[in-house]
Structure 1
């Protein structure tokens, strides 16, 4: 199968047997999601610069015990890309609307990267609807982000996250990158993966096709442009009381270790060794085992 400027989700879903894809109108927007398996509902949310395909290596295993629903959040993939509404509290409201539309009273929920921001916001704002929360490699934005360096620190063993600032800029990124997101996506995977073979050229093509348009760049950048409001919202949140697990790669684990103990009361922290940021791609067997051990306990 070849991937064009807009990948064919009908063909892509066939590569993950037992799963189908659907749309739902919630909170004034349309969300695209894929679903498969049986059991208690498990909502999973991908992050930047990926789509539902980020979970394709772990979906079949999770589906043996759970009803797995992978949601492309507002602005991602085949979901709508409205002009506004990208505050994580509102995006969590999108997911809450989907959960209710699907008829679930309570769910397990997890997310990676920006998806982890939304999953946390769901858990803290709709705690009555959550059994357990899974945070993959990324904590929710907090005031500590204001202390990120404007310049790389000479000699520091730290990847300078320039894209967090670049994605704050309005209008310019989509003018520069429309039709050229392969450059950014290739760079991110090159520098945030330990094992370069864990994300294939096909995987990259799927993601490039989802982010290459002007509206896709604008809407994905809007996730980042909402950070100041997300940080203000976080100051009003109570500690989570449901069980929470933070699973991180070599550097992501440190971020989770700094953040999650301050906002939870029932926490497990697990490090995935020999993995960069994209733990679902690099170490899917270990990651899915940690998830299932946590959910089954």
Structure 2
């Protein structure tokens, strides 16, 4: 932990040196900082057939967006985004399913409690919401942190899980403990390559209070670095999208809550040791994380399909929405899981 703290301090010392002028220079053309609020209600209006809702579960207020028809399909977003990350695939999915996109604990306009950010507790939140909607069983999908929560849901509530889709992040396991303090291939580039990504923010997000003090009011600097690093096509997350995500994470409380997902990784790794095999069909979709995800999820899923997403970085549902939505629908309707 000492080396992680040291690394975090160094990384943030570099971040603080970025001036406001330089921050503006690294933004894509037209991606100016948000000057006004972008409400969930306004965003939902751009998605015909969808509506906002809130539910209180175990003292936590969860925001979710729902629409479509058919069997229920739950979508869980990840860091540093919100439910809006799925807006490109929601209409296609809604033609076949009742889509329920949830801002997980600590995200967007959901509650930001002081604890409960381990993925097992967060999965309990989702289960309570699903039950409150009258569903006994759902298909569940997640991206990034949401993928880890979806996995925890399937492990803890297998009777309530029809099928599982995981995108670009497995549930934390001991492989996280092998991540290097220093980049293994020399200086860090501004784009993720075919080699293992350098996930310095996993360490930075472990530090209590410092990230909030450094980034509150200027979260866009970090977000734009991440989007540049992890997108093959930087226009896939446009100016409006970035304004939505900036607004969602720009306060100290929002940064604290989002970082809590990472600070719970130690408990997640411990919980994972007690998890058994997944017996329901599982689909893995990934860009840079494909080899890691296939290896980690493959140890647990008895019925696995693992597919790389072509021409995509980390944000597969935004960069290749047609491929992701079609592949998800094909899997959910015909899960030919021959463990490939």
TM-score by length of 2: 0.85
- 1:17 Cα shift? 1.0
- 1:244 Cα shift? 0.4
| Contact 1:4–1:209 under 8 Å retained in 2 | no
2:85 alignment counterpart: 54
1:194 alignment counterpart: 232
1:272 alignment counterpart: 309
Look up the SS of the partner of 2:306 in the other structure: strand
Partners in 1 of 2:35 and 2:255 — Cα distance?
Answer: 17
- 1:155 Cα shift? 4.3
Q: Deviations over 1:80-102 (max 9, x none)?
A: 00110001000000000000000
| Contact 1:39–1:65 under 8 Å retained in 2 | yes
1:131 alignment counterpart: 162
Partners in 1 of 2:276 and 2:61 — Cα distance?
Answer: 30
- 1:22 Cα shift? 0.5
Determine whether 1:114 maps to 2:114. no
| Contact 1:6–1:210 under 8 Å retained in 2 | no
Q: Deviations over 1:16-68 (max 9, x none)?
A: 11100100001220000000000000000000011000000000000001000
Look up the SS of the partner of 1:140 in the other structure: coil
Change (3 A) 1:4 1:98: farther
TM-score by length of 1: 0.97
- 1:154 Cα shift? 3.0
Residue pairs, 1:197-276, within 5 angstroms: 197-249=235-287, 251-276=288-313
Look up the SS of the partner of 2:98 in the other structure: strand
Runs of 4 or more consecutive aligned structure 1 residues displaced over 4 Å after TM superposition: 2-6
Partners in 1 of 2:182 and 2:308 — Cα distance?
Answer: 28
Q: Give the unaligned 5+ runs of structure 2.
A: 1-32, 188-194, 335-340
Residue pairs, 1:55-74, within 5 angstroms: 55-74=86-105
Determine whether 1:21 maps to 2:52. yes
Name the larger-Rg structure: 2
Determine whether 1:80 maps to 2:111. yes
Determine whether 1:182 maps to 2:213. no
Aligned length in residues: 295
